Structure 1
Amino acid sequence: MTSTQPLLYAAPSAFTIERVHTLVQQVGPEAPTVEYKEKLGPTLARGVAALANTYGGLLLVGVSDQRKIIGVKEKAIEAVAEHCTAKIEPPWSPEIIPVPLGDGSDLYVLVLRIVPGTHPRPLLVDGIAYVRHQNTTHPADWRRLGELFAEQSAAPEGVWNLQAPQIPHQPSGGADQTVDFVLRSGLRLPVATAAVWRPLSERVITALADALDGSRLAAVMASMASASSPDGIGGFHRAGLNRSRSVRLAWSVCPEGWPADKPHPMEAQATLEIPGGYGTFGQQLTFQVDVTVRASTMTEGRWYPVHRPLGLEETAHLIDALADALTAPNLIAALAELAGVDAYAVPQPRNLHLVTARSLISVLDADALTQVPGSGISHGAHLLSDPAHDLADPAQRWTQVLQWVEQITLDGGLTGAERLLRHLPAPPRHEQQRLATRPERVAAGNS
């Protein structure tokens, strides 16, 4: 499954006929967020309104139901805009991006882009509110119609939709200075009214744990902890506060012979909350993953009391693996089922937090970087993703990761990372593969 969400925010210049071909090929038959129209017809406004009343999306004019790219004349642009404005109530027309077919043709594919939060809801056509369900357009039933009219605002949520993590505390109190940094990323998505009543099923939570255990994130964390074999690695398992509408999944690993009184060099925690729990309000599902790194306390698989700086490459590969895990199809499918929405409506991670216990400049390997005089002390970075990047695509994700790592160094008062990152190798192809085997569950006491 490909994500259409990055295209909702990409620059118009990013739409090429090659990208349209790829989109049509990957999406296949029409999806909840993609619809095809061979030409301007009487049902085009219905398709636009249905996408706007559901998840938003793309309507491609000049593509047949059989997914053949035919194209339309340039004059169709004005006709489509006039048709939408005349038929849709209140009058509204989406952004129209003409994409030339090329090869000397005077034909175009018109990409009608319907971005959530940029239009009123509901949009009516002939007094009817149309919605999308899977790959069909149909009138909203009385319940959905009531929900659309009851909406207070269609404005998108704030961009900082996840709070920054806290550094774990040591038993004696105060921040744990053995922590290099904590990474946090995740996503929030609205829960359909019909799904609000559902508690967290054990089957879906097991599917989430399996998705994380089989992700490249688990492999990278194990590698950073010098645990090259899955033997003894505890998979993501319930630990801590768990209720019918909230769950915490813990993961940790250490090399063989690691001191029992020392915290593990790599730990992770996934938390999931759905609305409806005691004292909670709202209509959003929240899923986030925290990765706690203490890798600098380890040398050749043994505990080492002096911190070593962490390289930009291993930091970048860990961030890449985290973003990879959060866009995995099986994880997205599990979250979509919990929220009662289509998998196409599940957003990609929008922000990344990195918080350090010690100063950032003492955590990262800064030998090849230059510290800005008087830049002060930084303890992390809060980073936004470019919404036009598809984080499920390895190449686009790596581009985003390099931008993030450069921002992290700049927030630490360091310059020169752009030059270094230009030559930083992406994760090897074999690392892009999911783990073939899943470690057995372990008791919570091993977390």
Structure 2
Amino acid sequence: MNNSLFDASAADLTIERIRALAAQPDQMESLTPEFKREYSPSLVTTIAAMANTYGGMILVVVNDKDEPGTERVIGVNAQQTIDQIVSGCSTALDPPWEPAFLNVPFDDGSGRSVVIIRVDANVAPRPVLVKLKAPIRLSGRNATADRARLLQLAREEPSAGVLPMGQNVMSPNLARDNEI
């Protein structure tokens, strides 16, 4: 089993491993991992920002704040959430582009899942624009590329200067089978 969440196979992604990841006190949003409670237009902007930077992963629905007494991994209707994201990417991104999705179902029969969005900067049609701006990812937040960065993105050959998936900065790690 692969220990990195970025390049783990679908079979290695279990709800227990995602809960263990979310429970790590040092696991927070940074350059490449992001947690979202639900779909919102800002999620599409984060997809574009990750595509324009190093790529990354977004876990929906994981509370982005670890608050005492609240469950961090909540779960959603996966198909409905994926449909919203695909629709948002189709209408808000220029050029229209969508990342890869993985559905990790809860094991309690509730029908809830965590949707994992893998943004591979190596395959994104860079620059990816939102409202004629190129979002980029900074540590734990999105910003807008300045003119020099936008020109750099436009001149890049596919995968030039981009780390391959699984080698992203701050990649979160899954617990191994014997660590759960």
C-alpha distance in 1 between matches for 2:19 and 2:90: 28
- 1:27-84 per-residue CA deviation (whole Å, 9 max, x = no partner) reads 5221110111111112111011111111111011111221411111132222221211
SS class of match (2:58): strand
* Aligned residue number for residue 15 of structure 1: 13
- Select the structure with the greater relative contact order (CA < 8 A; seq sep ≥ 6): 2
Mapping of residues 420-435 of structure 1, within 5 Å: none
C-alpha distance in 2 between matches for 1:127 and 1:43: 15
Letter in 1 for 2:49: A
| TM-score (normalizing by structure 1) | 0.34
Determine if the alignment matches structure 1 residue 64 to structure 2 residue 38. Answer: no
Mapping of residues 250-289 of structure 1, within 5 Å: none
**Higher Rg:** 1
How many residues were matched structurally?
Answer: 165
Cα pair 2:123 2:158 within 8 Å, conserved: no
Q: CA deviation at 1:343?
A: 4.6
C-alpha distance in 1 between matches for 2:28 and 2:101: 22
Determine if the alignment matches structure 1 residue 344 to structure 2 residue 149. Answer: no
Cα pair 1:97 1:110 within 8 Å, conserved: yes
Q: CA deviation at 1:102?
A: 2.2
Determine if the alignment matches structure 1 residue 89 to structure 2 residue 87. Answer: no
Mapping of residues 143-158 of structure 1, within 5 Å: 143-154=148-159
Work out which of the residue numbers 102, 112, 115 in structure 2 matches 1:110: 115
Determine if the alignment matches structure 1 residue 136 to structure 2 residue 135. Answer: no
SS class of match (1:46): helix
Work out which of the residue numbers 78, 87, 101 in structure 1 matches 2:83: 78
C-alpha distance in 1 between matches for 2:23 and 2:138: 21
Q: CA deviation at 1:156?
A: 8.3
SS class of match (1:71): coil
Mapping of residues 45-444 of structure 1, within 5 Å: 45-67=44-66, 68-74=72-78, 75-154=80-159, 343-344=169-170
Letter in 2 for 1:145: L
C-alpha distance in 1 between matches for 2:106 and 2:155: 42
**Structure 1 pair 127/11, CA: closer, same or farther in 2 (3 Å)?**
same
**Structure 1 pair 156/105, CA: closer, same or farther in 2 (3 Å)?**
farther
- 1:212-233 per-residue CA deviation (whole Å, 9 max, x = no partner) reads xxxxxxxxxxxxxxxxxxxxxx
Gaps of 5+ in 1: 158-188, 191-341, 346-389, 397-447
Cα pair 1:8 1:115 within 8 Å, conserved: no
**Structure 1 pair 156/129, CA: closer, same or farther in 2 (3 Å)?**
closer
- Report the aligned-residue RMSD: 2.8
**Structure 1 pair 69/113, CA: closer, same or farther in 2 (3 Å)?**
same
| TM-score (normalizing by structure 2) | 0.79
Q: CA deviation at 1:124?
A: 0.8
C-alpha distance in 1 between matches for 2:128 and 2:65: 28
Cα pair 1:122 1:149 within 8 Å, conserved: yes
Determine if the alignment matches structure 1 residue 35 to structure 2 residue 39. Answer: no
Q: CA deviation at 1:10?
A: 2.1
Cα pair 2:77 2:112 within 8 Å, conserved: yes
Cα pair 1:89 1:125 within 8 Å, conserved: yes
C-alpha distance in 1 between matches for 2:31 and 2:16: 22
SS class of match (1:9): coil
**Structure 1 pair 107/92, CA: closer, same or farther in 2 (3 Å)?**
same
**Structure 1 pair 343/62, CA: closer, same or farther in 2 (3 Å)?**
closer
Letter in 1 for 2:104: V
**Structure 1 pair 11/34, CA: closer, same or farther in 2 (3 Å)?**
same
SS class of match (1:7): coil
Cα pair 2:89 2:97 within 8 Å, conserved: yes
Q: CA deviation at 1:135?
A: 0.5
Cα pair 1:51 1:131 within 8 Å, conserved: yes
Letter in 1 for 2:4: P
Cα pair 1:51 1:57 within 8 Å, conserved: yes
